[in-house]
Amino acid sequence: MQNIDPGVSANNALAHPGQLGVSEWDAYALVIDARSPHEFDDDHVPGAQNLPVVDDEQYAEVGTAHRTDPHAAYLAGVEYSLRNIARHIRTLITRFDPDSRMLVYCFRGGKRSKLWADNLRTIGYRVDVLEGGWKRYRLWVRDSLDALPARFELKVLAGSTGCGKTRLLQALHAAGEQVLDLEALASHRGSLIGAIPGERQPTQKLFDTKVLEALRRMDPRRPIWLEAESRKIGNLHLPAALHEAMHRTIPVRLVAPMSERVKLWREDYAHFAQDPASMVRLLAPLKPLIGREELARWEALAAAGDVDTLFERVMTAHYDPCYDRSTKGSYDKLSEGAVIDLPSLDAQALLQVARDLARR
What percent helix, strand, coil does the chain show, rounded to 5? 55, 10, 30
What is the Cα–Cα distance from 110 to 116, expressed in whole angstroms?
10
Maximum alpha-carbon separation in the chain: 73
Are 282 and 191 within 8 A, CB to CB?
A: no
Phi/psi class of residue 207: alpha, beta or left (left: φ > 0; alpha: ψ in -120 to 50)?
alpha
Cβ contacts of residue 81 below 8 Å, gap of 6+?
Answer: 53, 54, 112, 115
Are 103 and 7 within 8 A, CB to CB?
A: no
What is the Cα–Cα distance from 228 to 129, expressed in whole angstroms?
39
Are 120 and 101 within 8 A, CB to CB?
A: no
Are 283 and 295 within 8 A, CB to CB?
A: yes
Q: Which of 45, 48, 106, 340 is catalytic?
A: 106
Catalytic, 322? Answer no
Instruction: Return the amino acid letter for 110.
Output: G
Distance of CA 266 to the CA centre of its chain: 25
What is the Cα–Cα distance from 162 to 283, expressed in whole angstroms?
16
What is the Cα–Cα distance from 276 to 262, expressed in whole angstroms?
13
Catalytic residue numbers, as ranges: 106
